[in-house]
Amino acid sequence: MSSHSDKNLVTLATLKKMKKDGDKFTCLTSYEATMTSKICDAGVDVVLVGDSLGMVVQGHDSTLPVTMDQLIYHLECVVKGNKGAHIMADMPFMSYATDDMGFENATRLMQAGANSVKIEGGEWISKMASMLSDRGIPICAHMGLTPQTINRIGGNFVQGRDPTKRELIINEAKSLEIAGAAMLLLECVPDSLTKEIMSELKIPVIGIGAGPSTDGQVMVIHDLLGISCLDKLPKFVKDYMKDSNSIQDALKNYVKEVKENKFPAKEHTFF
């Protein structure tokens, strides 16, 4: 498994080509320089500076308290450790409440070293996706279970099981692609819904709890290393330290299993 050595080696074009060639790509969250460097050594394609940092680094019980300044601090640390992965940065809760705020805050993330920004939402973010894309900012639209709306959803439930919500997610994904979203991230949706979305879209799709059909997989680094603070791990998580002798081995095994289509397996997938 090769590792990346040049800065910004993995671009959006690389991910699109991987999709076209049927090569699975890998993504892991990171919030600091050293872990980012180790993640890159393992050959991970995309590093996500996720607002999950609110939970796994700051100890909150949701992602809502994370601010733009905090996200930028962690992004800057990640940029220093990066050896060529594509860096995606999360837009924190309320940082894109209006199109103007989205424009200003996405610009800050790109100027701090992000290669793309991730925004949670459906149809309502399509105008912003189009505006940012037109101005050179690639957007990854995060759909399915969107942790920033946890208070409205009422819990970490699988999304899109009922036909109305399923139809809505499919239609919103299609209109986000038309609006200019460069990527889609699907969280906690049934395998059959993922498959239907995959058959409709041309842009690369990343999954977490969305089954094996997506072009790429993402996991929170703490979950992969088995150091989650949760009493019960979500079904889609695999603790790679269980069968590895070192952190580097665990990272490499994750990359290998995603590329070989062994992760996620049936036991990590919602049906």
Active-site positions read: 187
Among 208, 224, 251, 258, binds ligand KIV (CB under 6 A): 208
C-alpha 167/C-alpha 8 separation (Å) is 37
- Here's the x/- map for ligand KIV, 161-190, by CB under 6 A: it reads as ------------------------x-x---
C-alpha 202/C-alpha 109 separation (Å) is 26
Q: β-pairing, 46-49 with 139-144? A: unpaired
Number of residues that bind ligand KIV (CB under 6 A): 11
**Min separation Cβ 63 and ligand KIV, Å:** 6
- Here's the x/- map for ligand KIV, 59-78, by CB under 6 A: it reads as --------------------
**Residue 50 or 264 with smaller CB distance to ligand KIV:** 50
Among 3, 14, 26, 52, binds ligand KIV (CB under 6 A): 52
Does the protein bind ligand KIV through residue 119 (CB under 6 A)?
A: no
Among 18, 35, 77, 220, binds ligand KIV (CB under 6 A): 220
262 close to 66: Cβ distance less than 8 angstroms: no
In degrees, to the nearest 5, what angle opens at C-alpha 65 toward C-alphas 62 and 70?
120
**Min separation Cβ 185 and ligand KIV, Å:** 6
Instruction: For the chain, give percent helix, strand, coil, nearest 5.
Output: 45, 15, 45
**Binding segment toward ligand KIV, per CB under 6 A, in 43-51, 77-85, 156-164, 188-196:** 43-51
**Residue 52 or 244 with smaller CB distance to ligand KIV:** 52
Locus of tokens 């899109």: 160
Does the protein bind ligand KIV through residue 217 (CB under 6 A)?
A: no
Contacts of 124 by beta carbon, 8 Å cutoff, 6+ apart: none
Pick out residues in 185-204 that bind ligand KIV (CB under 6 A): 185, 187
Per-residue b or e along 174-206, where b marks 16 or more CB atoms closer than 10 Å to that residue's CB: eebbebbbbbbbbbbbbbebbebbbeebebbbb
Q: How far is CA 137 from CA 90, 98, 177, 179, in A?
A: 13, 17, 14, 13
- Residues at the site binding ligand KIV, with contacts judged by CB under 6 A: 29, 48, 50-52, 90, 185, 187, 208, 218, 220
